[in-house]
Structure 1
Amino acid sequence: MSIDGRPQIKQSLSFIAYEKIKTMILNMELEPGSSLTEMWLIEKLSMSRTPIREALYRLQQENFVTLTPRKGWYVSEISLRDIQELFEIREALEGISARNATSRLSDQQLDEMARFLASLEHALEEDEAAVEDPGDSLHDLIFSAADNQFINNIMTIYLDRLRMFHVLASSLPGRKRQSWREHQEILQAMIARDEEGAEQAMRRHIRSSMQSILQSMMKKSSSYQRDITLFPHGKP
């Protein structure tokens, strides 16, 4: 049997194209609803048509892009209802994780996190856009301490979607400062070893983040206003 390596090279290029296009979508460099032409991607990624097309079909299977007959490829629209339902799952799982981690984190870990958050306060006031989301490290610490493989597995399934929504929320003026205050509340409850308080503070933070995303998207397009009724079961 002749093995010349070409199938492997073709597959590798297709995967590279897939990763690059997906990253642009998740980072919102390619906005929901925007057109995607193969020629633009060929020039952008310096690749031939075949790996680009294979990447697009793979992204279509994952619902990141759609192919409209006689019109071409588009970045898939974001459903506001999908966001709400996903954040309901996130609120429950991260709330449980915060509760469980409260009694498991050491005083040293909590003290280090307190110093880290304190170090960001001035930077956020000076140049909010230049500061990474202040809560990422705290979330990672909580998941690690909660040590629940089933929660981690479920969250991993939706990691890509959450990353996109994270970019949306972080880009809103004032959102990072608000996030910093919310994470301070979570941390203070954990320092006090208040499991109920930590869970409720985390739930409020997740709802606040979701609300910011939904309201921002509805401002961008009136069509989103018909897609969902915010918090149908009451105020967050």
Structure 2
Amino acid sequence: MEQHRVADAPPDAGEPSLAERAYRALRDRLIMLEIRPGAPISEDQLAQSLGVGRTPVREALKRLQYERLIAVYPRRGTFATEVNITDLAHISEVRRELEPMAAGQAARRATDAHRAALTALMDELEGAPAAPRTPGALMRLDLQAHRAVYAATRNPYLEDTLVHYDNLATRVWCLFVDRLPGVAGHIGEHGPLLRAVVAGDAEKAAALAAAHVEGFERAIRTAL
């Protein structure tokens, strides 16, 4: 198995535990379908690839099971969950309500540090068309943008909930990414949204977030 060292945490987030670092790395590999849906999960192989012991991996897997990214079957083992397209309506139902709320709250509550991070992401998004990226790189940028907005709400419960649902939505997106020619344009929609948040325009940020979620669901259904 290819080695994937656990990524370091942002410098202002404090040093995460080994279990937290293992969780973040495994979560994103599952989200990006680097661990394919239905694939068996080996604690030993994951511990080796992440450069940590089995105990942090086991703790990470417990969280991932709760988040529906892995499933444990008695006498069969642990597997990455399948991406069930019938879940799209349920996921979108939650995101249609919470994404606009989060964008509006981020515009109202973002600190100077949040606005600086969002501005840096804006610059990266605006440079994306000039520097073509792989679909995987674009999806990682999409995750960064969403997570930055959620963090700027300064509401940990709202942030955790939306990270969870955005993770599930991203798995659906990754499953169909080869059939979606407008990925770069979809990711580019974050530019105006981040700009509205940085400017403190809560009403505009909420409207753009709502349109973004609707566009996501429409694009997936078109690809079906």
TM-score band w.r.t. shorter chain: 0.5 to 0.7
1:141 maps to 2:148 = yes
Asked whether the equivalents of residues 153 and 159 of structure 2 are also in contact (C-alpha less than 8 Å), the reply is no
Cα pair distance change 1:144/1:127, threshold 3 Å = closer
Asked whether the equivalents of residues 22 and 59 of structure 1 are also in contact (C-alpha less than 8 Å), the reply is no
The Cα offsets for residues 131-188 of structure 1, whole Å up to 9 and x where unpaired, read as 34333333233223221133124335x3xx6435314425614343122331123134
Asked whether the equivalents of residues 80 and 214 of structure 1 are also in contact (C-alpha less than 8 Å), the reply is no
The Cα offsets for residues 175-226 of structure 1, whole Å up to 9 and x where unpaired, read as 431223311231343355432221011112123223444554x4xxxxxxxx
Matched to 2:150, the amino acid is F
CA distance in 1, matches of 2:205, 2:162: 19
Asked whether the equivalents of residues 138 and 187 of structure 2 are also in contact (C-alpha less than 8 Å), the reply is no
1:163 maps to 2:170 = no
Matched to 2:98, the amino acid is L
Cα pair distance change 1:200/1:67, threshold 3 Å = same
Map 1:1-236 onto structure 2 (within 5 A). 25-32=30-37, 36=40, 62=66, 64-65=70-71, 67=73, 76-105=81-110, 106=112, 109=116, 111-123=119-131, 126-129=132-135, 131-133=137-139, 134-155=141-162, 158=164, 162-170=166-174, 172-173=177-178, 174-190=181-197, 193-216=200-223, 218=224
Asked whether the equivalents of residues 28 and 167 of structure 1 are also in contact (C-alpha less than 8 Å), the reply is yes
Matched to 2:123, the amino acid is R
Matched to 2:102, the amino acid is S
**5+ unaligned residues in a row in structure 1: which ranges?**
1-14, 219-236
Matched to 1:142, the amino acid is V
Q: Which protein shows a greater Rg?
A: 1
Residue 59 of structure 1: how far off its partner (Å):
9.6
Cα pair distance change 1:67/1:129, threshold 3 Å = same
Give the corresponding residue for 2:12: none
SS at match of 2:83: coil
The Cα offsets for residues 114-145 of structure 1, whole Å up to 9 and x where unpaired, read as 3232222212xx34336343333332332232
Residue 45 of structure 1: how far off its partner (Å):
8.4
Of 93-102 and 136-145, deviating more is 136-145
Asked whether the equivalents of residues 33 and 77 of structure 1 are also in contact (C-alpha less than 8 Å), the reply is yes
Cα pair distance change 1:196/1:66, threshold 3 Å = same
Identity level (%): 16
CA distance in 1, matches of 2:149, 2:77: 43
CA distance in 1, matches of 2:72, 2:125: 41
Give the TM-score normalised by the residue count of structure 1: 0.55
CA distance in 2, matches of 1:170, 1:60: 18
